[in-house]
């Protein structure tokens, strides 16, 4: 039996497999029923928190790329996740290096983008990092200025 934890309904795997692998015709069913058969699977992630099972994250980690790096300069490693939707999620470590406690800061990580306006004056704009699909973050101090620089690849290699 498969339990859909988001709705509490129980679906019989055996019946589902019989429908797929038998000579059952989906067209026959749709001709007899006005309601279309649909199923939306939304993964949810649970963990034991203080002895109780709790929902910790409701979006998918499918095809994710994780990087542990000290983003906020407090000498412990935070978590940056490149997601399948092309965006980055940021979990700040509010614990210590030996006892990390990661808290979701944002599911749409922003960076400060520098542009010049029509008068050639510098403007600083917050932009959500979105590379299309399958964000792959990498951090390195490329310019040797003491802070980490963020590079994000995508599924198309750009």
- Cβ neighbours, 10 Å, residue 84: 16
- pLDDT tens track for 120-145: 999 999 988 899 899 999 999 999 99
- pLDDT tens track for 4-26: 444 444 444 445 555 555 555 55
By CB atoms closer than 10 A (0-12, 13-18, 19+), residue 104 is middle
Q: Of 32-41, 59-68, 78-87, which one has max mean pLDDT?
A: 78-87
Domain boundaries, the chain: 2-32, 65-153
């Amino acid at each position: 039996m498969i339990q859909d934890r988001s709705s509490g309904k129980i679906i019989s795997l055996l019946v589902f497999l019989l429908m797929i692998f038998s000579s059952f015709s989906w067209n026959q069913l749709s001709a007899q029923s006005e309601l279309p058969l649909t199923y939306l699977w939304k993964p949810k992630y649970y963990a034991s928190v203080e002895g109780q099972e709790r929902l910790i994250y409701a979006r998918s980690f499918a095809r994710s790329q994780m990087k542990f790096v000290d983003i906020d300069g407090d000498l412990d490693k935070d978590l940056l996740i490149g997601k399948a939707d092309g965006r980055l999620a940021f979990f700040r470590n509010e614990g210590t290096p030996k006892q990390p406690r990661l808290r979701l800061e944002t599911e749409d990580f922003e960076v400060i983008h520098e542009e010049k306006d029509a008068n050639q004056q510098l403007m600083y704009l917050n932009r959500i990092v979105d590379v299309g699909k399958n964000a792959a973050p990498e951090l390195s101090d490329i310019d040797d200025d003491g802070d980490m620089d963020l590079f994000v690849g995508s599924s198309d290699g750009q």
